[in-house]
């Protein structure tokens, strides 16, 4: 079967962990590498969590160690959402064999150089690693099929009134990526906030073997945070699964092309993705996703759980 080669750049994090389950278990994706970035929790933890997850599912994937902090600003983590360890309360082994440390930017470089077809990048954390890569190796841009990002929001933010967490965490990096000329798909809050897995369905996952138990524990701990929001969300929003689902099958989302800029200096708007709804700019640099078929994405997740269980 023809597989789509991808690199996942992530900061696990509960929803990153579910995105990794979806990707690693999917038979149409070839996960060439995973690169870790500082974001939800410090780099040391996001890297270790990526290693723990791959080890737990018996997947030998190259894992790169990326940027320890944003390009310009200091790191502001999302520990209140994802717990100080990023995967607190999830029972997978803490101590696992650690691979030889490889620099994330060099991992992306070598995967692209070795690939005989274009590779899709799926960043689901702050865009620091991707910005460093496109700045350092501009000659490899034409080896990137597209960059399918979880980040941004055409409407309201979740880190500030204006900005979504991943873009706010490193808006200078996001601007470099959005202005790179590489095809960009933005799975922002407009599509991801609505992709909630409802608590009354968590037990279905618990009944699905080792991988399902992992998924249900992640969902339960992630939902602990969402319950503090006073009923605005019926279940945890699994943001990071949406771009992975889009790469598996773009027809699960409704996409529209716009010009999008990233605000880097506003007092109240730092990190905002400014979507040109009025069509003032002829240069439509981003496909913005607005809706997704939740049941189909949940079906993809269940398929991945079954495949990972069989390993
Ligand atoms: C994004 O921020 C992080 O907390 C999540 O992992 C996701 O990537 C949602 O705004
Ligand atoms: Ca993330």
169 Cα nearest atom in ligand 1: 2
278: Cβ contacts below 8 Å, ≥ 6 apart: none
Q: What are phi and psi of 257, to 5 degrees?
A: -90, 135
Which of 46, 122, 149, 151 to mutate to test ligand 1, by most ligand atoms within 8 A of the CB atom?
151
Say if 125 falls within a structural domain: yes
Say if 62 falls within a structural domain: yes
Instruction: Indicate the average pLDDT of the chain.
Output: 97
pLDDT score for 46: 98
**Which residue minimizes the CA distance to atom 10 of ligand 1?**
165
Question: Do residues 61 and 31 lie in contact, with contact meaning Cβ atoms separated by under 8 Å?
Answer: yes
Q: Which domain holds residue 72?
A: 4-189+255-288
Q: Is 169 left (phi over 0), alpha (psi -120 to 50) or beta?
A: alpha
For the segment 89-96, the average pLDDT, to the nearest whole number, is 96
Ligand 1 surroundings by CB, under 6 angstroms: 13, 15-16, 40, 78, 81, 124-125, 150, 158, 164-166, 239-240
pLDDT score for 27: 97
Q: How far apart are CA 310 and CA 24, in angstroms?
A: 12
- pTM assigned to the model: 0.98
CATH number of the domain where residue 269 is located: 3.90.245.10
| pLDDT, tens digit (0-9, with 9 covering 90-100), for 164-222 | 999 999 999 999 999 999 999 999 999 999 999 999 999 999 999 999 999 999 999 99
Radius of gyration of the chain (CA): 18
Point out the ligand nearest to the CA of residue 151: 1
Point out the ligand nearest to the CA of residue 9: 2
Say if 146 falls within a structural domain: yes
pLDDT score for 231: 86
Say if 235 falls within a structural domain: no
Question: Do residues 33 and 107 lie in contact, with contact meaning Cβ atoms separated by under 8 Å?
Answer: yes
* Cα 130 to Cα 18, 45, 104, 182, distances in angstroms: 21, 19, 9, 11
| pLDDT, tens digit (0-9, with 9 covering 90-100), for 208-264 | 999 999 999 999 999 999 999 988 899 999 999 999 999 999 999 999 999 999 999
Which of 40, 86, 161, 241 to mutate to test ligand 1, by most ligand atoms within 8 A of the CB atom?
40
Residue 311: pLDDT above 90? no
pLDDT score for 243: 99
For the segment 4-19, the average pLDDT, to the nearest whole number, is 98
Say if 73 falls within a structural domain: yes
Say if 39 falls within a structural domain: yes
Q: How far is the CA of 14 from the centre of ligand 2 (A)?
A: 8
Residue 96: pLDDT above 90? yes
Say if 263 falls within a structural domain: yes
Residue 18: pLDDT above 90? yes
Say if 8 falls within a structural domain: yes
241: Cβ contacts below 8 Å, ≥ 6 apart: 15, 18, 19, 22, 195, 297, 301
| pLDDT, tens digit (0-9, with 9 covering 90-100), for 259-309 | 999 999 999 999 999 999 999 999 999 999 999 999 999 999 999 999 999
Could you give the number of structural domains in the chain? Answer: 1
* Cα 223 to Cα 10, 15, 233, 252, distances in angstroms: 20, 11, 9, 24
CA within 13 Å, CB half, 66? 36
Beta bridge partners of 188: none
Question: Do residues 23 and 124 lie in contact, with contact meaning Cβ atoms separated by under 8 Å?
Answer: no
- DSSP state at residue 237: B
Using 50, 70 and 90 to split pLDDT, how confident is the model at 1?
A: confident
Burial track 164-189 (b if 16+ CB lie within 10 A, e otherwise): bbbbbbbbbbbbbbbebebebbbbbb
Locate 218 and state its tokens: 């992640």
């Amino acid at each position: 079967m023809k597989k789509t080669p991808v690199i996942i750049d992530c900061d696990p994090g509960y929803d990153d962990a579910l995105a990794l389950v979806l990707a690693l278990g999917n038979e149409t994706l070839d996960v060439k590498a995973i690169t870790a970035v500082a974001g939800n929790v410090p780099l040391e933890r996001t890297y270790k969590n990526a290693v723990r997850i791959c080890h737990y599912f018996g997947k030998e994937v190259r894992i790169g160690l990326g940027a320890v902090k944003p390009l310009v600003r200091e790191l502001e983590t999302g520990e209140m959402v994802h717990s100080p360890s990023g995967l607190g309360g999830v029972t997978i082994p803490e101590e696992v064999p650690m691979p030889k440390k490889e620099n994330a930017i060099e991992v992306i470089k070598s995967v692209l150089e070795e690939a005989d077809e274009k590779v899709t990048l799926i960043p689901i954390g702050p865009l620091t690693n991707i910005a460093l890569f496109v700045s350092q190796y501009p000659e490899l841009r034409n080896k990137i099929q597209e960059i399918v990002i979880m980040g941004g929001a055409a409407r309201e933010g979740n880190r500030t009134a204006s900005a979504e967490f991943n873009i706010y965490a490193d808006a200078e990096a996001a601007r470099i990526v959005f202005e790179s000329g590489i095809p960009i798909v933005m799975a922002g809050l407009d599509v991801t906030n609505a992709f909630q897995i409802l608590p009354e369905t968590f037990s279905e996952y618990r009944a699905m073997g080792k991988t399902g138990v992992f998924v249900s524990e992640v969902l339960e701990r992630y939902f602990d945070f969402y319950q503090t929001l006073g009923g605005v969300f019926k279940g945890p929003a699994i943001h990071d699964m949406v771009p992975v689902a889009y790469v598996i099958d773009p027809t699960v989302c409704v996409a529209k092309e716009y010009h999008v800029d990233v605000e880097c200096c506003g007092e109240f708007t730092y990190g905002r993705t400014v979507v040109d709804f009025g069509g003032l700019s002829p240069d439509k640099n981003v496909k913005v996703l607005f809706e997704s078929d939740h049941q189909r994405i949940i079906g993809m997740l269940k398929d991945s759980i079954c495949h990972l269980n069989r390993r």
